[in-house]
Amino acid sequence: MQKASDRVRVNVQLINALTDAHLWADTYDRKLTDIFAVESEIAKTIAETLQARLTGSEKSLITKTPTVNPEAYELYLKGRFFWNKRTGADLLKSIDYFKQAVEKDQKYALAYAGLADAYVLLPPYGAASPSESFPQAEAAARKALELDDTLAEAHTSLGQVLLFYDLNFAGSTREFERAIALDPNYATAHHWYGSGPPLALGQFDRAITEGKRAVELDPLSLICNADLSWTYFFARRYNEAEAQVRKTLEMDSRFYVAHYYLGEVLQFKGQLTEAIAEYKKAAELDDDPFVLGLLAQAYAKLGQRDEALKMLGQLQQLATRRYVTSYSFALVHIALGEKDKAIDWLERAYRDRAGPDIALIKVDPFLDPLRGHARFEALVQKIFGPKK
């Protein structure tokens, strides 16, 4: 695709990957305002060339025009670009672009879904507190659905909000399943569903199946690849987790999330020194406070208590200036053998509605030392028991 001022040229080739045979090719010269019409035309021609039978929902997806404003569309694409980078700073940039897209077209449902997706990730990436971001995520997701109830992205956004803000596993599942029914090829729906309710409930086979499907649909997505490793980690399938996260790092060695995921896996495989090296790499690549928490707990596990306490002090200082997850503090206190203090922090996460901190409390290997503790089990019951 080539763009010059208000014109766009799209060169399309359809090739059989098995035989390298050229099936069809064409060039489209159009005004930028016709971009969605061109997309629909290309998709229809490819479907006809392949003699594919399209379902009713696929036909409507092909002909759908998400916005009439090409500037809004471009801003939306920039928003998704930064959203995919998965750092606190980039998520904040993505919010700026999604907001600009909405300003250009106030009926642009996809841009509202993008806004929800960015706000809902701010707490897990250390960029804002749940009280600052989750209500905005929910408002944006509901606005997207109000504009278009058939939008898979909007149902996915709401599914993530219900999981992280309300710990509503049943409601979240319904939204993810609705999203997948509307658009079975939307990778993020499979990704967030797989690393969401089934994983939290210990349904590991289902979680892994969804994670694998996300990677099949978007094989170059760093976060889909990394989070499949994370899912294996919670299922205690450490060898598969390590293989998957190393594959992610082969794609991009600067993806900080994958470095700390690898650190976690190595730690639970008994390679603590190697784990610390990975946590340090993650810390060099991004200033996410959670990584500091991982380093502190690793030093405590290594018996370097003074170093762990020093880092805990740094984490406490940091928390006076920016959001630091309660889960970070809980991990450090577990490693220091201070179970009651760790549970204090997890209870605080529950009070603060910090779902990302505690949604996986049932299956998290890091929390195994707390299992059987009366206060911990009471908290698990609060999260997973029948809601009053």
pLDDT tens-digit map of 121-174 = 999 999 999 999 999 999 999 999 999 999 999 999 999 999 999 999 999 999
Q: pLDDT band for position 388 (50/70/90)?
A: low
Least confident of 32-36, 38-42, 81-85, 197-201: 32-36
User: What is the distance between the alpha carbons of residues 111 and 140, in angstroms, rounded to a whole number?
Assistant: 9
> Do 10 and 32 contact (CB within 8 A), yes or no?
no
The answer as to whether 22 is a domain residue is yes
Q: Give me the residues paired with residue 12 across strands.
A: 26
Residue 370: its pLDDT value, please?
Answer: 98
State the pLDDT confidence band at 36, using cuts at 50, 70 and 90: confident
Short-list 46, 112, 122, CA closest to 86: 122
Task: Give the chain's domain count.
Answer: 2
Q: Which of 46, 63, 80 is the last residue of a domain?
A: 63
Give the mean model confidence (pLDDT) for residues 281-296.
Answer: 98
Mean residue pLDDT across the chain: 94
- Whether residue 316 is contained in a domain is answered as yes
Look-up of token digits 């490793």: 229
**Residue 49 half-sphere exposure toward CB, CA atoms < 13 A:** 16
Maximum C-alpha span of the chain: 68
- Asked whether residue 18 is assigned to any structural domain, the reply reads yes
- Core vs surface per residue 124-139: b (16+ CB within 10 A) or e: bbbbbbbeebbebbbe
Inside any domain, residue 71:
no
Domain end point (choices 27, 44, 63):
63
The whole model's pTM is what?
0.91
Task: Please indicate, yes or no, if residue 43 is contained in any of the structural domains.
Answer: yes
Task: Flag whether 312 is in a domain.
Answer: yes
Element (H, E) at 15: strand 7-16
Is pLDDT above 90 for 6?
no
Task: Decide if 267 contacts 236 (C-beta within 8 A).
Answer: no
Per-residue pLDDT band at 56 (split at 50, 70, 90)? confident
Task: Identify any residues that bridge with 14 across adjacent strands, giving them in sequence order.
Answer: 24
Task: Please give the residue range of the domain that contains residue 7.
Answer: 2-63
Domain assignment of residue 367, yes or no? yes
